[in-house]
Amino acid sequence: MKPQANAAAMSAAVTAFLAAYSTDGDAEAAYTAAEAAYDTAIAAERLAYGRWERETDACKEHGCGRPWGAKVGLAGAKLKFNYRDVAALYSQAGMISIPCAPGDVIAWGPNDMRRASTLLVMLPSGQMRKINRTEAVRHLRGH
């Protein structure tokens, strides 16, 4: 995500929080409004730039493995992972960046056997929804 995009999203979230808090004084409701405003702003930027991004933590070569990202397609009845650029190196934090558009399925995860990959589908709004493997196959088949 571009720095100015993140700044705009944070500004929208703070504005939503202050507006909701000043209306009824309910901090929890204000926080929920701020979260929704932030998510909406990030989704709009995701649509504009055509990329899903996630910051990654530093990792040890023998610990968590190198993070990866992939655009997902179908090969027959199986998911096919088309691996994309990942800017995280061992012992360094980085960014997973995957080009995507509404309707695309992407995956990301650590390169180890302790945690499974996460599958996401991009909605027309730019929001990402977590799905399982069966849902991914159905979605990619157009059902």
pLDDT in tens, 42-90: 888 889 889 888 887 666 556 666 677 889 999 988 999 888 655 444 4
Structure tokens at 81: 């992972």
Amino acid residing at 121: V
Q: Looking at residue 88, what is its pLDDT?
A: 46
Q: Give the integer Cα–Cα distance in Å for 32 and 57.
A: 26
Q: Give the integer Cα–Cα distance in Å for 69 and 109.
A: 7
- For residues 60-97, one letter each, b for 16 or more C-beta atoms within 10 angstroms of the residue's C-beta and e for the rest, the string is eeeebbebbbbbbeeeeeebebeebebebeeeeebbbb
pTM of the model: 0.74
> How would residue 3 be classed by pLDDT, with cut points 50, 70 and 90?
very low
Which residue has better confidence, 116 or 71? Answer: 71
